Structure 1
Amino acid sequence: MREKFLLTGSWQFQLDPKELGEQLQWMSSEFNREHWLFTEVPNALDDFGAKDNPLRGYEGTTWFSRTFFVSETWNKKDIYLVFEGANYLTKVWINGKFIGTHEGGYTRFSFKIPNDIINFKYSNLLVVKTENKSLENRTPGPIFGWWNQGGIYREVYLESRPKLHISDLTVRTYVKSENEARFELDVEVKNTTEISRKNIEVSWKLFDNDKQITGAGSTNMSLLYADESRKINFTADIKNPNLWCPENPYLYNLQVKVTDGDITDTMQLSVGIREISVDGTKILLNGKEIVIKGVNRHEDYPDSGRVHNLQWLIHDFNHLKSLGVNFIRNSHYPNHPEFYEMADKYGFLVMNEVPLYFWGEMVRNTSYKDMSALEAAEAQLREMINRDKNHPCIIMWSVSNETRGGRKHVDDGNRYLMDCARKLDPTRLVTHVSNHWYKLVYGYVDGALDADDVICINEYFGAYSKSLGGAANTIEDIPIFKEALEKALEDLRSRHPDKPIIVSEFGGIGIAGFRGNAYPSEDYQAAFVKQHLEVLTNFKNIRGIVYWDYTDYPYHKKFVFDYFPVGYYGLVTRDRRPKKVCDVIKEYFKRWNC
C-alpha cells in the first residue's frame, strides 16, 4: 500500500542573495540554524502577506529547512520526496547528503531517496535551496508579463511505494459513436527489488457512478527482472458510455492493481471518456462541433499569490459558469494539480501551456534568444504532459506564448516543440499562441502557424499605437480599429483557409471604481471590449474567443506594462470584485454560437 506524509507547515528559511550557502555548508547536519526565521510552506515568499513585506519582489536564492520522521514500516519500500512546485532552480539535501536538483517552476518533480540515507529511528533533516532569477537561458526568461514568484509555493511530501509498483498510467479514449467508445490503457510496472519477480498479475476495472463495472481486463507477466520496467497495453470497447463534455462532465473511476502474491500496488484515477479533434475549420468534441467561450486565468489569489487556494478556485469556477464560460487557458504555465481535478468535475475545457514567453529576439531592450531556453521549455513540456495527460478537461497543449515569430530559429523552435507534444500525446490538439500573425502590425509573419492544429492568435487592436487604426483612448475613439481588425482577420483566414481559429487573447484595461469615457475607466473598458466582441462574434470563421484576463494580476516590480504595476485587464479585481465588463462578456457569450 502506498502512503503519503505531508511536509507542509512550519519551516525555517534564510536569504542568500550572494550565493554563500553552499560554501558555508548550510546543508550540513552540523550547521547551526537557530537564527533562521520561520515561515509556512507552501508559500510565495516574495509575495506572501502584507504589501510592505520586505521580501516583496525578491529574486535570488533562499534556503529552507525542516526535520521529519519516517516510519520503520517504510524501510522495505521505495521512498520518494515529491515537490508539486518550487521556483525555479531547486537543490535538495537530506541529512547533509545531496539528493538532486530540478529546473523549472510549475511542474511536479521527485527524488528517490536511498534508504541508507534515511534514519528510521530518529529525526531527519531536509534542506532545500531555491533560486528564482530571471535569466536568458530559462523558461520563462528575463522578461514576462506576470509575477514569477519564488520559494516552495506548492506542497512537499514523502511517498512510499511498494518495490513492485505502478510507475506510470496512460489513458486514451476514442468515441466510435454515442453508443460505443474505445478505451486504451498503458500500465508501466517497475521492479526495484534485487531479484526477479514472477507471475505478476496486472488488472484494471472501470466503474461508473453507480459502482457498476463497465470495463475490465487483466494479464500476467511471467517474469520481470530486478530493476526492470515494462509497459502493458490494454484495449476495451465501452458500451453506451457517458461521454464527458462541459454540459455533462461524467467521470468514471479507474482502479489498477499489480501483484505477484507477495507485493501489491494499486492506483485509482478519475477518467472521462471523450475525444477532441478538428475537421477543417471546426473543433469537434465527441464528434460534435463546439464553440470556445473562454478566459485566460493566472493562478493568483488574494493574500497568497501563487499558492493554491481551493476556496477561491471554487469561487472562480462558479462565477465563470455564470458568465457562460466553457474554456480556460492556463496562462502561461501549468497550474496546481487540483485545478485540473476540479476542471474535470466542473466540465471546463482547458488549454495547458508551458511558459516560453517573448522568446526569440530583443524585447523591450532585453535579449531573450538563448537556445537553452528552448531546451528548458521542452523539459517542462514533457513534465507537464506526463503529469496532466489523463485529465479529460485538457483538450489542447500550447508550447509557447507570443514568441518572436517570423524568425527562422523561433519558427523552427515552435515546430519542434509541437512535434514533441504530438509524439508524447497524439490524442490532443497542439498549438502555439502567436501575436505575430499579421505583417502590417509587427513586420513579421509567424512561420509556424501552418503547423498548429488550431491557430491561436492574440489581438489588441486599439490598445496600442502600433495597432492599425491607432490607440483608442476614449470611448469616442473606439470605432477607429474596427475596420483594421476585420481586414486582419480576413487576411489570416485567406492564408489559412482550412484551420480552426481561436482568438486566444483580447482585452482592455479598466481600473475598478474609475468612471468616465476615457482610459482606464470601467466604462471605457466595457465599451472597448464590446467593440471587439462585435467584430469577433460576427466573423463567421472564428471558433473560439478567449478574454484576457479573468482577474487583475500583479507584475513583478521590475516590469511596468501599460503604465501600471498591475495588469488591470481583469473581469474582476484581484480580490474578485466584478467590474462593469463582466456584464458585456456575459451578454455576448450567452448569445454567441459561431
Structure 2
Amino acid sequence: MLYPQLTDSRMVFDLNGVWDFKLLDEGQCPAVDGPVQDAIPMAVPSAYNDLYEGRAFKEHVGDMVYQRSFSVSAPMLEKRLVLRFSSATHQATVYLNGKLLGKHKGGFLPFEFEIGQQARRGENLLTVIVNNIVDYSTLPCGRLVTEKYPGLAPMVRNYPNFDYFNYTGIMRPVKLYTTPRNYIRDITVVGHMDGSFSYKVDVQGEGEVAVEMLDPDKKCVFKAQGASGEGKIENVRLWAPENPALYDLVVRLASGDEQDSYTEPFGFRDISIQNCRICLNGKPVYLKGFGKHEDSYVNGRGFNEALNVKDVGLLKWIGANSFRTSHYPYSEEMMRLCDREGIMVIDEVPAVGLHTAFTATGMLGGEPNGTWRTLQTAQHHRDVINDLIARDKNHPCVVMWSVANEPASEEEGAREYFEPLTVLARQQDPQHRPVTIVTYEGSSPEKCKVAELCDVLVINRYRGWYDTEGNLPGAAAKLKDEFERFHARCPEKPIMLGEYGADTIAGMHDATPTLFSEEYQVAYLEAYSEVFDSLPYITGEHVWNFADFATAENIRRVQGNKKGIFTRDRRPKMAAHYLKGRWTGFEKE
C-alpha cells in the first residue's frame, strides 16, 4: 500500500484535528447519519485514554464513536477519491453520510476506502466506531472477563496479555487523497549491494508505464519503459547507518491525456547471515539499540512526529543503530525517518500475548499448556503479516521481520502454528530478509519448539531482575550458560538478546547498587555486556526499554514500567551515559 503523496497528479488532504467523540455503553448504537449527541472534543490522532480524567474514561471497555465533517470539491469528485486511516485500534467500522463504507480489524496498520460513490459535493459526515477490546481472537491478545462482587452490578473488565497500556482510538493520521482513474496501485523495488536492482509496478486500469531512477543527488541514473524491469547501477552508493543513501524510483503511468506519478524512495543494500552473524552489505553488523514503544504523556500511543524526531536523535546520540518495533508496527512516518537517518529496524507484527498463562503484568499466572488449543488468531495473524510486509517491503531500514513476541513457544502446537507464518513471511518479502520469533525464558533451549523456524534467535531474558534478583554474577553465569546451550542446539544461527533490563527509578541512588537504583541498572548492563563480548556468535543487544512507558495498573509497576534508559519525558538516567560510552564507535568483530 503506497503512502499518501502529493504529486502533480495526486492531491492529499489532512483530516486530523479536533473531532467529536463519545464513549458508548454496551449495545449502544449512535446515529451515523447525523450529529452524535453529547459529544466531547477529541484530538485525532491520539489515544483517547489520557485526554480526560477518571478511571471509567481511561479504562473504558468496548465501543467509542468519532465524528467530523469535511468538504469535497467538484475537482476532487472528478478523480478517484480515497479515505485513508493510518490505523484505528483495534477494530473500526466506518460510515460516510450514514452509509457503511466497511470494517477493519487490527490496530496498527493502514486501511482505506474509495469513497467517490458515497461522497457528495460540499459537506460530508464521517462517523467511525472504534472498538478497543482485546481477546483471544485479536492481536495483541487479551481476556474479556465479567467480574461479580457482593452487592454490585457485574463489571466487565478487559485484561491485556501484555505488559503495556492498551491505548486505543484513532491513533494515527487520517487523510483524503485523490488519484487519476487509471493509477499506480503499488510499487516493489529491490536494490542490491552490487548495484543490481529490480522493480515491479502494479497499476489499475490502462496506460503505459515509464520509470526513472534518481541517485541521492537527484541525478537520473536509469530510465526504462514497462511495468517491470531490472538493471545495474555503476558506482552505487549503499544504504548503511553511517551513510544512509536513498535513491528514488519515479514512476509515471500515462493513459490518454491523464497521467499518474509517484516517487518511491529505496536503498541499495543486502542483509545476509554469515558465520553466525547478521551481515549488512556483506560485513558483520552488530545491532546496538532497544526495544521501544510508541508512548508519551498525553498522546499515549498516538502519532507524534516531534517525538519520533526526538527519539531518533537520542538513538544517534547514545550510539545506537537499531531498534525493534515492540510490539506492533510503528507509524509509516517513523519508518521513513529511519530510512533517512540510517536506523536499522526489526519490524514486528502486533502478535504479543499469545500465551494463555500470561497476565497483564507480563508474568506467568494464567492457564498454561492450552494456548494453541485456545487462541483463534491464526487467520488474523496471516492477515497482519501480509499487510505489514505489503506496507514496509521497500524500506531499507527494515533488516528483519518478527512474527511474534514471547508466545507460548514451549507448548505443544507452537511449531504447527508458527511454521506456516514464517513460511508466509519469507514468501511475501521480495528481499528475503531474516525472520524471527522473539522468545521468553520459559522457552528454554531444551523446550523451545520454534528455534529451527528462525533465521536469527532473538531471546528475551531478565536474569538479575525477575530471577536471580540482585545477584549479578549468578545472573551472568545463567545467561552465558543458556546462550551456549542455544548455540549447541542451533550452531549455524546468530543469537541476540531482544530484551534485558531492570526497573529503575530516576534519581534513586545507592552506594551499594541495589534493586531500582540507577547504580544497579548500570551494573546490570555491565554484567550483560561482559557476556555478550565473550561469545562470538552474539550479533546484537537490544536493551529493554528505550524509555519508561505506561502499563496496566498493578503492584509490580509504579506508574508504568521503569526499565527505560530514558524517563518517559526522554531525560537520561545514568545508564544512558554508560551505554553511550559502550556503543559509540563500538563494532564487534
Q: What TM-score, normalized by structure 2, do the two folds share?
A: 0.90
Counterpart CA distance in 2 for 1:78 and 1:373 is: 34
Assess if the C-alpha contact under 8 Å between 1:406 and 1:436 holds in 2.
no
> Aligned to 1:140, what secondary structure does the other structure show?
coil
Distance in 2, matches of 1:320 and 1:70, equals 42
- How far apart in 1 are the matches of 2:515 and 2:214? 54
2: CA distance between counterparts of 1:361 and 1:380? Answer: 21
**One-letter amino acid of the structure 1 residue matched with residue 188 of structure 2:** T
Aligned ranges 1:147-166 → 2 under 5 Å: 147-166=165-184
Distance in 2 separating the partners of 1:93 and 1:399? 32
Out of 416, 422, 426, which is 1:418 matched to? 422
Residue 447 of structure 1: how far off its partner (Å): 1.5
Q: How does 1:326-475 map to 2 (within 5 A)?
A: 326-364=321-359, 365-366=365-366, 369=372, 370-427=374-431, 428-436=433-441, 439=444, 445-465=447-467, 470-472=468-470
Q: Structure 2 unaligned runs (5+)?
A: 1-8, 143-160, 360-364
Query: Could you say what secondary structure the match of 1:277 adopts?
Result: strand
Question: Are the equivalent residues in 2 in contact too, given 1:436–1:445 (CA < 8 A)?
Answer: no
SS at match of 1:91: strand
Superposed, which structure 2 residues align to 1:96-495 within 5 Å?
Answer: 96-113=98-115, 115-120=116-121, 122-142=122-142, 143-176=161-194, 181-191=195-205, 197=206, 200-219=207-226, 232-364=227-359, 365-366=365-366, 369=372, 370-427=374-431, 428-436=433-441, 439=444, 445-465=447-467, 470-472=468-470, 477-495=471-489
Shift of the 280–578 alpha-carbon distance from structure 1 to 2, 3 Å rule, reads same
Give the percent of matched residue pairs that are identical in Structure 1 and Structure 2.
31
Q: Distance in 1 between matches of 2:355 and 2:275?
A: 30
Give the secondary-structure state (helix, strand or coil) at the position aligned to 1:284: strand
Deviation (angstroms), 1:70: 0.8
Instruction: Determine if contact 2:173/2:303 at 8 Å carries over to the other structure.
Output: no
CA distance in 1, matches of 2:166, 2:230: 42
Q: 1:64 to 1:395 in 2, by over 3 A?
A: same
Q: Deviations over 1:383-441 (max 9, x none)?
A: 1111111110001110000001122322222222111111100411111111157638x
SS of residue matched to 1:407: coil
Query: Do 1:354 and 1:400's aligned partners in 2 also have CA atoms closer than 8 Å?
Result: yes
Report how many residues are paired. 550
Deviation at 1:53, TM superposition (A): 7.5
- Please say if 1:13 is aligned against 2:21: yes
Give the TM-score of the pair, scaled to structure 1. 0.89
- Alpha-carbon distance in 1 for matches of 2:108, 2:499: 22
Segments of structure 1 that go 5 or more residues without pairing to the other structure are 192-196, 220-231
RMSD, aligned α-carbons: 1.8
Alignment-derived partner of residue 150 in structure 2: none
Work out the CA distance in 1 between the residues paired with 2:270 and 2:574: 37
Structure 2 counterpart of 1:431, which letter?
A: T
| Distance in structure 1 (CA, Å) of the matches to 2:543 and 2:424 | 28
Aligned residue identity for 2:123: S
| Counterpart Cα distance in 1 of 2:355 and 2:508 | 38
CA change 1:74–1:592 in 2 (3 A) is closer
Partner residue of 2:42? Answer: 39
> Contact between 1:48 and 1:305, CA under 8 Å: does it hold in 2?
no
Letter in 1 for 2:42: T
Distance across 2 between alignment mates of 1:385 and 1:64: 29
In the TM superposition, residue 101 of structure 1 has moved relative to its aligned partner by 0.2
Query: How far did 1:270 drift?
Result: 1.4
How far residue 54 of structure 1 moved from its aligned partner, in angstroms, is 5.9
State the alpha-carbon separation in 2 of the partners of residues 513 and 166 from structure 1. Answer: 54
Deviation sequence 1:151-193 (CA, Å, 0-9, x none): 11111111111110011111112223xxxx11111100102xx
Preserved CA contact (<8 Å) 2:441 2:461:
no
Q: Is the contact made by 2:249 and 2:266 (CA closer than 8 Å) also made in structure 1?
A: yes
